């Protein structure tokens, strides 16, 4: 029984992480320069190989922690990439994940310590292997998720303005949104807490700050609520 798989082909299983961030204006992606062959010196997603005693989720979290120091963030398994010649060294299948972080909370020391760099998703360089296809797939998934689930709040600071929220959705969806319609849709969802605080950096009068009310959202979902932007 122990030898029942001995004649089967063996392949490597990689895990690649697509990390999105938001800087109040633009949707960005975190990339690193590859420091080994093949494709040494070229831009890459962050990745590594599944270890024998790990689940895929364990591997994705380990890789993210090792290469960025980031943990305990929103992460979702995306898709499996299995083109036979996707890696020129050895037959390798990759399972991609995408993660969402608020740049303000996680950027300190990240660039210098881990040789990483943020790029606007519209201006990102060509990536190694099939990583460009992974990013395109992740953007489509992100657009779908943010239209029916409030994961976009993972990209914002804890307190944010309505303008910042609209800019985030415009960056993800890659389209301009009517301000009045957007605010009405958000208010109708009734999942934000309006604070008695203002962000004074945007104008002389300032803009009210809001927080996402996760407890209220979870209760509304239990009652059959459907999130839709």
20 strand-pairing partners: 29, 100
78 pLDDT higher than 90: yes
The fold adopted by the segment(s) 156-222 is: Arc Repressor Mutant, subunit A (1.10.10)
Q: Quote the pTM value.
A: 0.91
61 pLDDT higher than 90: yes
Domain definitions of the chain by residue range: 12-149, 156-222
Q: What is the pLDDT of residues 150-195, one digit of tens each?
A: 999 999 999 999 999 999 999 999 999 999 999 999 999 999 999 9
Give the pLDDT score at 110: 60
Q: Please name which of 95, 79, 123 lies closest in space to residue 11, comparing C-alpha atoms.
A: 95
Dihedral angle of Cα 189, 192, 197, 200, to the nearest 10 degrees: -60
Q: Please name which of 8, 34, 31, 32 lies closest in space to residue 21, comparing C-alpha atoms.
A: 31
Q: Is 12-149 CATH 3.90.380.10?
A: no
Confidence of residue 52 (pLDDT cuts 50, 70, 90): very high
Give the pLDDT score at 200: 87
Instruction: Spell 49-60 as b/e; 16+ CB within 10 A means b.
Output: ebeeeeeeeebb
Q: What is the pLDDT of residues 79-112, one digit of tens each?
A: 999 999 999 999 999 999 999 998 887 765 566 6
Phi, psi angle pair for 23, to nearest 5°:
-110, 30
DSSP state of 127: B
Q: What is the pLDDT of residues 22-44, one digit of tens each?
A: 988 899 999 998 888 999 999 99
Arithmetic mean of pLDDT, 125-143: 97
């Amino acid at each position: 029984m122990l030898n029942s798989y001995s004649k089967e082909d063996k392949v490597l299983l990689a895990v690649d992480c697509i990390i999105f961030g938001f800087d109040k204006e633009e949707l960005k992606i975190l990339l690193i320069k590859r420091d080994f062959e093949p494709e040494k010196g070229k831009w890459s997603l962050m990745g590594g190989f599944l270890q024998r005693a790990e689940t895929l989720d364990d591997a994705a979290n380990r890789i993210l922690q090792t290469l960025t120091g980031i943990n305990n963030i929103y992460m979702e398994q995306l898709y499996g990439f299995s083109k036979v010649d996707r890696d020129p060294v050895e037959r390798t299948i990759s399972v991609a994940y995408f993660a969402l972080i608020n740049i303000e909370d996680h950027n300190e020391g990240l660039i210098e310590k881990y040789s990483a760099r943020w790029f606007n998703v519209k201006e990102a360089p060509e990536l190694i292997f099939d990583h460009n296809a992974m990013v395109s797939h992740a953007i489509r998934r992100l657009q779908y998720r943010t239209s029916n689930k409030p994961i976009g709040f993972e990209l914002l600071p804890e307190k944010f303005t309505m303008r910042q929220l609209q800019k985030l959705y415009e960056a993800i969806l890659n389209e301009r949104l009517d301000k009045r319609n957007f605010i009405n849709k958000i208010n109708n969802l009734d999942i934000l807490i309006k604070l008695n605080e203002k962000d004074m950096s945007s104008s002389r009068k300032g803009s009210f700050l809001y927080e996402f009310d996760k407890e209220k959202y979870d209760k509304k979902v239990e009652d059959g609520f459907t999130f839709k932007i």
